[in-house]
Amino acid sequence: MQSQVEPNLSYFIAKARSIEGRTFQKKIKVAILSSYTINGLEEALRVKCAESEITCLTYICGYGQYNQDILDQSSKLYEFSPDITFVIIDTRTVMSTLFYTPYAIPVNDRRSYIDKRVADFVNLIRTFKNRTDSKLVLTNCSIPTYSPYGICEGKSEYGLREMVYDFNAKLSDVFRSDPQVFLFDFNSFVSKYGEVNVLDYRQFLVGDIKVSLSHIPHLAEEMMGYVKANMGINRKCIVLDLDNTLWGGIIGEDGFDRIDLSLKPPGTAFVEFQRMLLALYQRGIILAINSRNNEDEALRAIREHPYMVLREENFATMKINWRDKISNMKEIAEELNIGLESIVYFDDDPINRELMLKAIPQIMTVDLPDDPSLYASTLMRINDFNTLAVTSEDRKRGEMYRQERRRTELKNSASNLEDFLKQLEIKVTMKKANDFTIPRIAQLTLKTNQFNLTTRRYQEEDVQMFAHDQTKLIGCAQTKDKFGDNGITGVYIVNKNHADKEWYIDTFLLSCRVMGRGIEEVMLGYILSKAKEEGVERVKAEFIPTKKNKPCEQLLPNFGFKKEGQQWVYTYHVPIKQTSHIELNED
């Protein structure tokens, strides 16, 4: 059962020894470069990765050697070739002696010093970027509570705290739109746990340990957010109980007017929890309900209660009935066309949680505290919703799932599949890879599993490089119909070999939410037509089977491709298949 309590560091060190040699299908190489002693972080990361069934290989730089490792092109860092690199710096290292005596030099010199330090780190990061494809996560600096000027700090022009704040802000501005570089808000980490807790002066003065050993596991947990996002294994759906979860009390017994949901205690706890859920919904997390309840009474509360923050339109699906919750949960996953491993489950009842944990262990079942006032903070601590970029499709996901419910209603009323597809009035627009589409293209390659011919994963910087490569054709498909815009749902990456008059389809995928509508046929037909226009005689492709991509197993043979060894080949021996119910456009 998902717990919010971190074991102590000794647990992770012992556990790290016990998992030596154990491997998983997923694998990541993590480098940790630090300006101070960071004992135990590597072990905590490896254990946390193992708990997520990820093999984690690590590289740790020598004490304070992060500059040398990055600047030396023959260093062991580049030999290791990490997938993600954490550069952990601290305020004292950046500020040097000015941490203690900032006011010993004039204001303009203080500003120049910060500009120089920003430039130093920007040049260091750019050097790293030029030598590796690794993601780089740089910590910012914690803003000290200490000031030699005490209560007059706020009266001082460009004082110590403002200097550190300016350093953080300028670094963030430089790399805000860089898909390879992320700024880890270490200042927020220190604020969350408290400076007096994170910095233990006894450990600091003895061994230059600037994150106390007791808080290393918490730092590792924060860093796991980047690891999971980098591997595309984030969770994207929250399933909620109702009674004593979204409101206090039992609607069937207490009635509409007596459930706890108001701007006064104890109802405020549930309002705050719903506000946090709404914020996640607005950035793209799917919400659903799984409740054993009288449907009419529960829906009345959702639709009409004056303090209900979440309304019916915020839920992609609602299973409110007297069936067992395990069956309901499986139906939710099937209806939303998502994997069970994508779901986080909130239920106040420990028996229900235990049943769910044992029946469907892939689901993250959250160990909710007994006190509802802690629900919101429990939700805030879950870092499994992270992605490397929040796209426009993410922000519109809730609206898209509402539209999908209307499509389902149309499908159920149509006499057959053909009539349903015609009535949808589908329009597909093929778009090139550009600054607007590249983040979504990368996101889809990282997380699409079911309709994905090769399941090759590409980071945003990979896609940017492909987009400027004349030997590649890379693009995406935006899908609309009478109910609304599904956004970018398909991706293709093709390698061109003009010398042999051949093209090779490296990547071909479609979002699960639009499968079965013929969109994949329009995309494949578009690629074949483009190849024909350029005098290509053979288009090759592969189907690399996984545990999840069986839905696209027959795409190539059904489209006229013939098997040759491990590849499928199209030779224009038959006309390109047409899909009459879809309007195709090119942007």
Residue 348 has pLDDT above 60, yes or no: yes
166 lies in the same domain as 75: yes
Residue 509's H or E segment, with its range, is strand 502-510
In a domain, 415, yes or no: no
Residue 1 has pLDDT above 60, yes or no: no
For residue 232, what pLDDT is reported? 85
440 lies in the same domain as 476: yes
In a domain, 45, yes or no: yes
For 457-483, what is the mean pLDDT? Answer: 94
For 280-296, what is the mean pLDDT? Answer: 95
Structurally, the chain folds into a number of domains equal to 3
180 lies in the same domain as 222: yes
SS3 (DSSP) at 506:
strand
227 lies in the same domain as 254: no
Largest CA distance in the chain: 82
Q: In this predicted model, which residue has the larger pLDDT, 39 or 337?
A: 39
Residue 540 has pLDDT above 60, yes or no: yes
Answer with the one of 200, 215, 231 that is the final residue of a domain: 231
In a domain, 2, yes or no: no
Which residues neighbour 392 within 8 Å (Cβ) at sequence distance 6 or greater? 440, 487
For 137-141, what is the mean pLDDT? Answer: 97
- What's the domain range around 557? 424-586
201 lies in the same domain as 246: no
434 lies in the same domain as 560: yes
Contact 253, 244 (CB under 8 A): no
In a domain, 409, yes or no: no
Q: What is the CATH number of the domain that holds 342?
A: 3.40.50.1000
CA atoms in the 13 A half-sphere facing the CB of 173: 9
Answer with the one of 381, 396, 413 that is the final residue of a domain: 381
Answer with the one of 180, 211, 231 that is the final residue of a domain: 231
214 lies in the same domain as 241: no
Residue 3 has pLDDT above 50, yes or no: no
SS3 (DSSP) at 150:
helix
346 lies in the same domain as 445: no
Whole-number Å distance between alpha carbons of 310 and 293: 18
Record the pTM.
0.80
What sections of 337-428 are H helices per DSSP? Answer: 350-359, 375-381, 392-395, 397-413, 417-424
Provide the pLDDT confidence category of residue 37 given band limits of 50, 70 and 90.
very high
Q: What is the CATH number of the domain that holds 192?
A: 3.40.50.1110
51 lies in the same domain as 120: yes
275 lies in the same domain as 183: no
For residue 406, what pLDDT is reported? 82
- Could you read off the pLDDT of 407-423 as tens digits, one per residue? 888 888 888 888 999 99
In a domain, 402, yes or no: no
Residue 466's H or E segment, with its range, is helix 460-467
Residue 248 has pLDDT above 60, yes or no: yes
Sign of the Cα pseudo-torsion (482, 485, 486, 487, in order): positive
521 lies in the same domain as 552: yes
Average pLDDT, the chain: 94
Residue 2 has pLDDT above 60, yes or no: no
In a domain, 63, yes or no: yes
For 364-383, what is the mean pLDDT? Answer: 96
What sections of 103-256 are H helices per DSSP? Answer: 107-131, 160-175, 186-193, 195-198, 201-207, 216-231, 251-254
In a domain, 61, yes or no: yes
Q: What is the CATH number of the domain that holds 437?
A: 3.40.630.30
Whole-number Å distance between alpha carbons of 383 and 293: 30
For residue 367, what pLDDT is reported? 95
Residue 4 has pLDDT above 80, yes or no: no
For residue 19, what pLDDT is reported? 93
In a domain, 408, yes or no: no
Dihedral angle, C-alpha 196, 202, 204, 209, nearest 10 °: -90
Residue 132 has pLDDT above 90, yes or no: yes
Residue 386 has pLDDT above 80, yes or no: yes
The amino acid occupying position 438 is I
For 60-74, what is the mean pLDDT? Answer: 94
